[in-house]
Structure 1
């Protein structure tokens, strides 16, 4: 089920590859939402706030590990585009070995530091213990979360976006079943939700691995290829480390935002947690487009087909703009029904609705620049450019941090909710400018037919 994305009309290639990614992201959000809904219904609003308050920490820890491992697969995509089969297998072996080391270190550090992180974020005392329980179990199962994403990224690198979707749908259903069994049946509270998440992701990873070994021979290394090679490690970490740091920097900004929101009490934290799930669902077309562009640009860059690459970026930008407007409108319409799903009584809905509506209206108004961040950042990374996307993370951090700090100083809830939007506006503008610079740099090494002369694979 490999797909060569260097030939054919860009719109068809990107949409056929990206749509399964979009569905997969939707299922991912749905089963994350299932955690929160079941926790809220069977444990209580404090538990919902506890799970919600750890979302930015999960983004930091998991994003850092995934940034390195996913960045490693850029080399796989480029070598596949260049028809270098031996190089593809070597990149896979090297990435898996690096991932094992990275996951071990990340798990150890995150568990040891978790109490201090929650304290630094001003997590309300009422929910501190539950938040700590939930996030430490997630950290303990980091290996499952990272390797599902790593194996999925390998498959996407060779144009196969369907199998990761199938595995994710299966695990999504399993996650809901485990949630109900552990939370409702065994009364395990937030611990049950965390165990369900880790277990279902682990099964997804196993399913993807079995498929790769049996059906994607190109992706599975031979016995003599299982070793860490210095050259490949430098190339993979050269992209992966900046991606990981970018995730960490971006997550640090969201943690500042969460800390600012935590100042307004448990009701506001619960409302934000529920609204964030709606936002996550409505915005999943954007990372799917970004993932598609990472593979598309990686293969076309590897082959040296820069004209085709640029055409794809243009198509993705137009398509994402239209989707951003539509998704923004739908998100605003669905705020009230969403609150009715997450909260049990009319009073709880009434208390949470104003804050949730404010956050969604602010966020939905700026989905267009958010969509541009994913397109241009992933395109640059697919071409092997790591520094400029990293600086985009810095822009996000500064924007969110400034907005969050000012909101705390003024004790202004609306300004705290505006942290995301401010980051998307500034980083979206930056991403467009950075992409223009990257394309100019690439074209300097192209002949008159826009065929890359020096292909770095």
Structure 2
């Protein structure tokens, strides 16, 4: 189903468009949730720390493809809003070639520099071997991740958020089944969890590629659209590179925090690995709502509907804030049971550390919800450089304060406190600039 977000009820259209995206990304989290849960229960604390730290690194790498795809997707939405089919097809061809080239280069780089990467992350000796083994396998799935992100962003940009959900649902179920088979039954250890994930990633990546090829021929570029167009490539490169930079800076900051967490040892690493999964699940719906809002803004920006953009922005901030407050209350109340899903009740130190993280950061989910909307807004109106500024403020403050506060009597708690402070300062900056430009 394709949604035209330039007409009809704003809140209803946004929610109907966002719901499949929310469901899809919740399913996508099962790739890593399954690894974390099964590895933590079957293989123990050190294996959990290795897979958890690998997840942070893979999120950073994936953010590069996701940023390029999201930037391209904003441009696709604008062309759809304008009704310019020729420019839309040409931009699809140029964006696909650009993202494929970046994927292949990045894949080669991470294999060549795997040991320096582990050293940079300050991985403890007892975790090093398991994390290296996991990464050597999981890196093979980067191409599949790139394929899925590009074609899902393409379909969502044009108003179809349902098909990406279908492919993720199938691959998530397969991922969990293969995790259980390879780790719990075949006893392949950490390698089994990695194989389960990349097999599932290729199911979703190749599946959505075939769907677009055979079911969306009207979107597929024709021979005349494959001619080089410097103007379109410049637009794609400008918007995509800034969005990619924003996503990469955001996740690089998280990677820096991961390195600091690793310096506190395997217990804190395991707590962080489990708590981040809960954290991501908790605010994932507002992240996807922010992406849906970005498509709404881009389509209406292309159509010139300024008044609808203003009304949609007010309604979107109200919805996101209300949802975030409810989720914050639930996470605060159920922090202990949530941690025990991933960690044995005997690991009391790991659970206590994870609870502190969830109750400090989880109280401020409205901050990250607002930030996702600001990212989407500036990307959609071709001011992606502002998203980069907000990310630098959010992550720069987070990293700086994490290192400063953790060196005091606060210890690891200082790392957790730094995160919401960065969110709120970035929100204030983005809202003030939005008000000024309006």
TM category, shorter: over 0.9
Give the match's secondary structure for 2:207. Answer: helix
CA distance in 1, matches of 2:151, 2:129: 34
CA distance in 2, matches of 1:137, 1:352: 27
Shifted more, 373-382 versus 58-67: the winner is 58-67
Aligned counterpart, 1:445: none
Cα distance, 1:47 vs. partner?
A: 0.7
Query: Which 5+ residue runs of structure 2 have no aligned equivalent?
Result: none
Give the match's secondary structure for 1:418. Answer: helix
4+ residue runs of structure 1 moved beyond 3 angstroms? none
CA distance in 2, matches of 1:405, 1:336: 26
Write out aligned runs for 1:190-229 (5 A).
Answer: 190-229=190-229
Aligned counterpart, 1:99: 99
Cα distance, 1:384 vs. partner?
A: 1.4
Aligned counterpart, 2:248: 248
CA distance in 1, matches of 2:395, 2:309: 29
Write out aligned runs for 1:379-390 (5 A).
Answer: 379-390=377-388
Contact 2:31 2:172 in 1 (8 A): yes
Contact 2:141 2:201 in 1 (8 A): no
Contact 1:300 1:309 in 2 (8 A): yes
Contact 2:294 2:377 in 1 (8 A): yes
Cα distance, 1:421 vs. partner?
A: 1.6
Aligned counterpart, 2:322: 322
Cα distance, 1:235 vs. partner?
A: 0.4
CA distance in 2, matches of 1:390, 1:242: 7
Contact 2:390 2:430 in 1 (8 A): yes
CA distance in 2, matches of 1:332, 1:136: 37
Shifted more, 60-69 versus 407-416: the winner is 407-416
Q: 1:234 to 1:358 in 2, by over 3 A?
A: same
Aligned counterpart, 2:371: 373
CA distance in 1, matches of 2:46, 2:323: 35
Write out aligned runs for 1:275-424 (5 A).
Answer: 275-344=275-344, 346-348=345-347, 350-410=348-408, 412-424=411-423
CA distance in 2, matches of 1:333, 1:315: 28
Aligned counterpart, 1:135: 135
Aligned counterpart, 1:87: 87
Write out aligned runs for 1:153-192 (5 A).
Answer: 153-192=153-192
How many residues align? The count is 437
Give the match's secondary structure for 2:77. Answer: helix
CA distance in 1, matches of 2:146, 2:81: 25
CA distance in 2, matches of 1:180, 1:358: 30
Aligned counterpart, 1:430: 429
Give the match's secondary structure for 1:264. Answer: coil
| CA deviations over 1:262-314 (Å, ceiling 9, x no partner) | 12211111111111111111111111111101211110011111111111111
CA distance in 1, matches of 2:111, 2:246: 21
RMSD: 1.6
CA distance in 2, matches of 1:139, 1:224: 35
Write out aligned runs for 1:12-27 (5 A).
Answer: 12-27=12-27
CA distance in 1, matches of 2:307, 2:150: 29
Contact 2:175 2:196 in 1 (8 A): yes
Cα distance, 1:126 vs. partner?
A: 0.7
Contact 1:94 1:227 in 2 (8 A): no
TM-score (norm 1): 0.92
Shifted more, 211-220 versus 381-390: the winner is 211-220
TM-score (norm 2): 0.96
